[in-house]
């Protein structure tokens, strides 16, 4: 399963005894990998490096650790930040192999950055745009 071509047989039921398309199978594998990436130690190193100490969380009024967004440099509580892959896990030019996805997903901490939700949304939208252009 090192190389799966998404463009071939995308809608054919080739997986799970003929109940799943390759597309469904791929998202099944991808979500499993994403689950693993939440436990990837460099992710926590990246968060620790971005920690700017405890401040009052404006939403709850409680003290909470705050993290600096690598883009806007504002400080946010943990729930309002995401650890982002600087290079998207799936290249904007499209999926090639699971080997590549795994290499790009489990990068060292210098391949990761903390972004606030707003900056993360902007980056995701840009990547989506790049994907569209790469397809066209
Ligand atoms: Zn930000």
Q: What is the pLDDT of residues 56-86, one digit of tens each?
A: 988 889 999 999 999 999 999 999 999 999 9
Q: How far is the CA of 134 from the centre of ligand 1 (A)?
A: 26
Cα separation, 43 vs 34, in Å, equals: 12
Domain ranges within the chain, ordered by starting residue: 1-38, 40-135
pTM: 0.83
Ion ligand 1: residues, Cβ under 5 Å: 69, 71-72, 116, 119
Which residues on neighbouring strands pair with residue 21, listed in sequence order? Answer: 13
17 Cα: distance to centroid of ligand 1 (angstroms): 45
pLDDT band (50, 70, 90) for residue 1: very low
What's the full length of the chain, in residues?
136
Query: What average pLDDT does range 104-123 have in this prediction?
Result: 97
Q: Which of 28, 24, 30, 29 is nearest to 12 (CA)?
A: 24
């Amino acid at each position: 399963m090192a190389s799966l071509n998404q463009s071939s047989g995308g809608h054919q039921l080739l997986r799970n005894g003929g109940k799943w398309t390759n597309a469904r199978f791929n998202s099944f594998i991808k979500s499993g990998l994403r689950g693993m990436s939440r436990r990837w130690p460099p992710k926590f190193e990246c968060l620790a490096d971005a920690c700017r100490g405890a401040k009052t969380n404006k939403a709850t009024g409680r003290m909470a650790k705050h993290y600096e967004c690598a883009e806007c440099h504002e400080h946010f509580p943990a729930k309002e930040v995401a650890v982002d892959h600087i290079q998207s896990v799936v290249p904007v030019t499209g999926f090639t192999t699971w080997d590549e996805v795994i290499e790009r997903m489990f990068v060292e901490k210098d391949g990761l950055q903390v972004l606030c939700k707003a900056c993360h949304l902007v980056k995701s939208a840009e990547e989506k745009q790049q994907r569209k252009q790469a397809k066209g």
